[in-house]
Amino acid sequence: MFRSGAFVADQLDGIDAEQVQPNGVDLRLEAVLEPVGTGRITRDGKAIADRDQVESVAIGPEDREGYRLAPGGYILQYAETVSIPEEHVGFVLPRSSLMRNGAMLNTAVWDAGYSGRGEGLLQVHNEIELERGARVAQLVLAAADHEGTYDGSYQGERLDRA
């Protein structure tokens, strides 16, 4: 069973009322990174490719801070601190406005016990402008049985920047 947006909102810090949806909470864009170099995933571990921060520029008629992205792959960093409660699993889905503008957000499962400020992979197929602080994704939570809680290498990611 998926939980209500109000329940999901209780698991995040620093959100406002417009982010709370009937079935989840919108996540806002904090920063955009571009992978460079070579990443590696082996049977024994992983090495994440280096990333360059995409420079923000003035976008739109009001010259707000944002990003003008050419086709390619980018890492989006979300602004909100998320804590996935026990007996739940989190899924992050793109807002439909991304798809309607030729971009797609890919994410992974967020396990029970995860706490941090996560990331997603943005695939841009048509040039797009994204304002910093724009709502780009929606976090939903589903009830789930589990053995143990998340204690992996991404636990607490980017919390030092909160």
Query: What is the DSSP secondary structure assignment for residue 83, as one 8-state letter?
Result: E
Residue 42, amino acid:
T
Q: How far is 131 from 67, CA to CA, in rounded Å?
A: 6
Residue 123 β-bridge partners:
73, 104
Marked catalytic residue, from 119, 127, 129, 147: 119
Q: Is 119 a catalytic residue?
A: yes
Output the six-digit token pair for 142.
């589903």
Q: How far is 126 from 117, CA to CA, in rounded Å?
A: 27
Residue 43 β-bridge partners:
none
Three-state secondary-structure class, residue 121: strand
Question: Which residues are marked as active site?
Answer: 119
